[in-house]
Structure 1
Amino acid sequence: MLARRALPVVTLCRLPRGEHHPVSKPTQLFPSIRVLEQAPCAPPSIYYTPCNRAAFASLSTEVATGVNILKNGTDPALKSDEELPAWLWELAQPEKPLTELQRHEFTELQPEEQRRWVKLETRAGIKANNVLKSA
């Protein structure tokens, strides 16, 4: 007698208007999977889907909508620009591209800029090698 292979059990999410999560139709990818039940469930909150459309519709200028990760917590209030630390505005500055870094001597650069220069130079070399190999 041949041993039967156990098939994985999958629970599908049911969404309104026939919309599905990318993972909610496993039978398309794996026809041997049998679906035992279909239960309503919510998608992860990081995706914009019909299940959490209401959360994104309530964006406001007083509260950081969707930032709360605690089960019983609330979204934090937004602060004015004057209340935010000065280092936060440095994060919004774009990093220097390789051409900008190459205008200076390597020894004149800050340690962070030196690491970035090496990283970008390595990346450019890899891309050049890939172009040569593909031609």
Structure 2
Amino acid sequence: MRFMIIVKATKDSEAGVMPTEELIAEMASYHEELAKAGALLDASGLQPSAKGWRIKYSGEKRSMVDGPFAETKELIAGYTIIQVKSKEEALEWTKRFPNPAVDGKEGEIEVRQLFELEDFEQGEAVERFRELGVGAEK
């Protein structure tokens, strides 16, 4: 089972305030433990939304909107993807996730299970994804 630990953005992360050496060290230790347990698949921080954009769809029409985006609580500052045997194991790992907010301020993570190719009705389109090696547990 794969899970994404989503680090919610804060006013600081959106303002480009970089994490402290202490926070980076805590995150490094946590991710090293995940790696040693064979549970770490990927992890990264994201640049502020001012450096991003959104594509909005209306049927086949697409329009682009440049960042920054106003609602910080709806933005993502980073993520970690883990692979574990159960939801309970994922919960135990996420309870240990360091507070991602700068200087121990209020922070939040959200955890979501990823779909696996086996969750979908099998067919030619799913096989195309399987051949690409995406959407599947390692």
TM-score (norm 2): 0.19
* Larger strand proportion of the pair: 2
* Larger helix proportion of the pair: 1
Q: Which has the higher contact order (CA 8 A, sep 6+)?
A: 2
TM-score (norm 1): 0.19
